[in-house]
Structure 1
């Protein structure tokens, strides 16, 4: 599909009002996306586990209005008005209006909440924009009931990307690939696709315990970080590394090769942060406790041979990844050795999930 496929020709139905509600999860990249071109086009392809527990639930009540010159919406986050969130929604609406021309026809009452604390240091933009896009596509499907599921979900991923790049990987599960790659069928810079190759059963129930090392706001936003890849001395080498790692992952994911998986995933995480440390201006998002946890994981894996590993997003928190059949022993390890490095001892147990779901009623 291309951008042209997402431009609606006409609508056969215009309800006066209605209500939609969707839940969309966060995701954690295995091969990282870092660096982008306008508008929200990735500089390199990526692949991620769709999560399950860490999710955003969004509802929209929509009512037809008389004047159609401007966008009209109210926003409640966790039950309270959040005026500081509204400019991002306004920008998103402006960006997607040509693909959703009904946006100025209605007033929208948007209510959204996260299953994790907003200040937990977990990025909510991916789950938030995915949930909002699912709601808007649900409304469009009411206006155009003939729309098929392929267009529905692909366009939802396309729209979510225009709100937050990685959000396009939160529409489907359990593994989602985003970014054009000549060796990955149907891959696109404009939307995420379910990973098209064989995946061993071990990876379909993988666990992810998110250690909340630092719950404050990052000193450098991801948007700024992405932009610092322009002119970065190691950018082209890094982009090629991502392409190569996606090729290398194909047999690893097919065979259930945990040793190969660990090497690529941990290398990708450290490369992401190496790009931050070597940009100009340079910055460090890891905290001392991030490094303590990494070293503890390495020691534990060497001593026990349990296939546990880590990955990082663009922050200080550590995602501890491990197969479901090792959950009991890894949980003990986390409680006894790692929780002490988390802010207030807090962590969130999550696992690979299936993507966005509609909430009835």
Structure 2
């Protein structure tokens, strides 16, 4: 089992590179068993498992050039083609966190150009896809400087680095289902990085669909960082962490045997528990909007009437992820367009599906 020390660059680079460019895309992900609450250094308080998405992604390019002053980090940041000064402190903090693991970054001036295919800070985990894409580029730099790096180490360290930028980002490196956090029944699971779900997934969950209903495209009421911190001294924290372990055990069995009814029960309970934690913290927050509840109730009514196995999940925001098997796609999309789109801001929604993880473009 790899430790944090295993990700430190022990030797000087074997290649000398003056300048170069890399570009990666990395997807968002949607947790089925939620990670909520963390320890020092972005260690999760409980394990989680997520679907890796396909269409909701961040595309990031890094241009790097050797510089004289190698004592500090130096970078420019462009978001959707324009300088974005308010994002720079988060990138600076990230680079400082990974300094021991990637000391070569101080040798270069970086130009980081990034864009999303979905609204930023609206509950679709833009920090997850963003930090994953950035980490993939950094590992491409490392691979260029240290050509002997094995592929397994490349992806594990990318996930490890991404976690230090945004916890759930470690689940956006690989696909199609990723576990993060040690769990006794998940082989190879680690608090340090995400691992691909090791068991064979039942055909019911192959190419699963996720249609994201954009109830509120504005910035979230409370950041995920603040939300996680509210789990410290939360009156129900220990019960919640225990519940997550139990639900992951049950979901592992469900993913293997294909029981859609049990899948729905676990996933919806997890979503509501996440929001219950926020409503019972101090200070307390209600992240759902009235239209979020309308959508949930209509999904329940539709499922009860049609027996079609469609369900919802939520991240820490108002938007609703509608999850369903591929073989009922036509019926569910018709339901969404006729009954649910009216509850979305400006009628906006995104059709997505399970993806394969980060992809190198350049």
- Is TM (by shorter chain) over 0.5? yes
**CA deviation after TM superposition for structure 1 residue 118, in Å:** 2.7
How far, CA to CA, are the matches of 1:129 and 1:319 in structure 2?
22
Do the aligned partners of 2:132 and 2:158 also contact (CA within 8 Å) in 1?
yes
Q: Indicate the residue corresponding to 1:140 in structure 2.
A: 142
SS in 1 for 2:355: coil
Q: Indicate the residue corresponding to 2:3 in structure 1.
A: 2
Aligned positions of 1:186-335 closer than 5 A: 186-335=188-337
**CA deviation after TM superposition for structure 1 residue 119, in Å:** 6.1
Aligned pair count? 360
Deviation by residue 1:140-182 (Cα, 9 ceiling, x = unmatched): 0000000010000000000000000000000000000000112
Do the aligned partners of 2:123 and 2:316 also contact (CA within 8 Å) in 1?
no
Find out whether 1:93 has 2:121 as its counterpart.
no
How far, CA to CA, are the matches of 1:238 and 1:117 in structure 2?
30
Question: More displaced, 118-127 or 168-177?
Answer: 118-127
**CA deviation after TM superposition for structure 1 residue 115, in Å:** 1.0
Q: Indicate the residue corresponding to 1:104 in structure 2.
A: 106
How far, CA to CA, are the matches of 2:184 and 2:336 in structure 1?
40
Aligned positions of 1:34-73 closer than 5 A: 34-73=36-75
Do the aligned partners of 2:220 and 2:317 also contact (CA within 8 Å) in 1?
yes
Find out whether 1:22 has 2:24 as its counterpart.
yes
TM-score (norm 2): 0.98
**CA deviation after TM superposition for structure 1 residue 123, in Å:** 2.7
Structure 2 unaligned residues grouped into runs of 5+: none
How far, CA to CA, are the matches of 2:314 and 2:5 in structure 1?
36
Please report the RMSD computed on the Cα atoms of aligned residues, expressed in angstroms: 0.9
Structure 1 unaligned residues grouped into runs of 5+: none
SS in 1 for 2:218: coil
How far, CA to CA, are the matches of 2:51 and 2:205 in structure 1?
9
Do the aligned partners of 2:59 and 2:116 also contact (CA within 8 Å) in 1?
yes
How far, CA to CA, are the matches of 1:252 and 1:16 in structure 2?
51
**CA deviation after TM superposition for structure 1 residue 278, in Å:** 0.6
How far, CA to CA, are the matches of 2:321 and 2:38 in structure 1?
24
Q: Indicate the residue corresponding to 1:113 in structure 2.
A: 115
SS in 2 for 1:56: strand
